[in-house]
Copies of this chain bind each other. A is one copy, B any other.
Amino acid sequence: MDESVFFSIRLSLQVAAVATALIVLTGLPVAYMLARKDFRGREVLDVICTIPLVLPPTVTGYYLIILFGRNGFIGKYLYALTGWSIMFTWYAAVLASYVVALPLLIKIARAAMESVDRSLVNASYTLGHSELSTALRVILPLAKRGIVAGTVLSFARAMGEFGATLMLAGNLPGKTDTMPLAIYSLAGSGEWSQAHGMVLLLTLLSGIFLYIANRYSRRII
């Protein structure tokens, strides 16, 4: 196999894995808040979390540049302090995937957590378990199917993330060209047989990943 193809595969998996890990880590607490806390602006927060799904990824990418670019609202302070900018690095691909795929996990995990039987949560409390312990050992496991589905979808979405990544991470061969970017390049330049091959590879690879995730999640329930 072509070395650059190999690089793209590795990069894609790496970006998707890191983004998904971050999504799970940060998304679950948000989903928990949305599901079980009653605070002002809860539904507004929910909507805000969903918005990146509505925007064409390229637009999301553009706004991310405005925020995190070297001269962006946040990015400029980062740059002033550290001389480092996220633009055109693989971290940018992670950021883009993160933003674009996060809504999936949050919405799904919220729905699953809301469906957990109230009386089991109460039972946990009366047994002396703190809210955190109850969240981790009762709500999370009982919402597991939803959380797994959300994680799988986020991972898939991150694997396929393209538009926003393109904007933020650029397409630096051997640096930030994830599989979707590579596919796009191949297809766009009419190298269809290679493009098909790459699509097949991405599909297969994702398929295997999704299949394992499905199987595994089923077994541990």
Least CB separation from A35: chain B residue: B145
CB-CB contacts of A194-216 with B at 8 A, as 1s and 0s?
01000100110011001100110
Instruction: Give Cα A114–Cα B146 distance, bound, in whole angstroms.
Output: 9
Q: How far is the CA of A161 from the CA of B4 in the complex (A)?
A: 30
Q: Please report the total number of A residues contacting B with Cβ < 8 Å.
A: 51
Q: Interface code A87-104, partner B: CB below 8 Å = 1, 0 otherwise?
A: 000000000000000011
Q: Could you tell me if A153 and B207 are in contact, using CB atoms closer than 8 angstroms?
A: no
C-alpha gap A32/B148 in the complex (Å): 18
Copies in the complex: 2
Name the CB-closest residue of B to A108.
Answer: B108
Q: Would you call A50 an interface residue if the criterion is a C-beta within 8 Å of the partner chain's C-beta atoms?
A: yes
Interface centre among A48, A51, A54, A159 (most CB of B within 10 A): A54
Q: State the CA gap A46–B145 with chains docked (Å).
A: 14
Whether A145 lies near B115 (C-beta < 8 A) is yes
Q: Is the CB of B145 within 8 A of A114?
A: yes
List of B residues within 8 angstroms of A108 by Cβ: 108, 111, 146, 149-150, 153
Extra contacts besides A59-B183, A114-B145 (10): CB < 8 Å: A51-B206, A53-B156, A53-B157, A54-B203, A55-B203, A59-B187, A104-B104, A108-B153, A110-B149, A111-B146
